[in-house]
Amino acid sequence: GDKVKQSPSALSLQEGTNSALRCNFSIAATTVQWFLQNPRGSLINLFYLVPGTKENGRLKSTFNSKESYSTLHIRDAQLEDSGTYFCAAPYRGSALGRLHFGAGTQLIVIP
Amino acid sequence: GGIITQTPKFLIGQEGQKLTLKCQQNFNHDTMYWYRQDSGKGLRLIYYSITENDLQKGDLSEGYDASREKKSSFSLTVTSAQKNEMAVFLCASSMRSQNTLYFGAGTRLSVL
**What letter would DSSP give residue B50?**
S
- Residue B25 domain boundaries: 4-111
How far is Cα of residue B29 from the mean position of the Cα atoms in its chain?
15
Instruction: Give dist(CA A55, CA A63) in Å, integer.
Output: 12
Q: Which amino acid is at A54?
A: K
Q: What angle do CA B25, B56, B20 make, to 5 degrees?
A: 55
CATH number, domain containing residue B17: 2.60.40.10
Question: How does pLDDT run along chain A (111 residues), one tens digit per residue?
Answer: 578 999 999 999 999 999 999 999 998 888 999 999 988 888 999 999 999 999 999 999 999 999 999 999 999 999 999 999 999 998 776 656 788 999 999 999 999
- A80 SS3 class: helix
Is residue A88 within 8 A of residue A101, CB to CB? The reply is yes
Chain A residue set in contact with B, beta carbons under 8 Å: 4, 31, 33, 35, 40-45, 48, 86, 88, 90, 94-104
Q: Which of residues 40-59 of B touch A (CB under 8 A)?
A: 40-45, 48, 50, 58
Mutation site for A-interface testing, chosen from B35, B101, B107 by largest number of A Cβ within 10 Å: B101
CATH code, A38:
2.60.40.10
Q: Which domain holds residue A60?
A: 4-110
> What mean pLDDT is predicted for residues B30-48?
92
3-class secondary structure, A79: helix
pLDDT average, residue stretch B34-50: 91
Q: What's the total number of domains in chain A?
A: 1
Identify the pLDDT of residue B38: 92
pLDDT score for B39: 85
CB atoms near residue A88 (< 10 Å): 25
In chain B, the number of structural domains is 1
The mean pLDDT of B69-76, rounded to a whole number, is: 96
The rounded distance, in Å, linking the Cα atoms of B58 and B76 is 13
Q: Do A42 and B43 touch (CB under 8 A)?
A: no
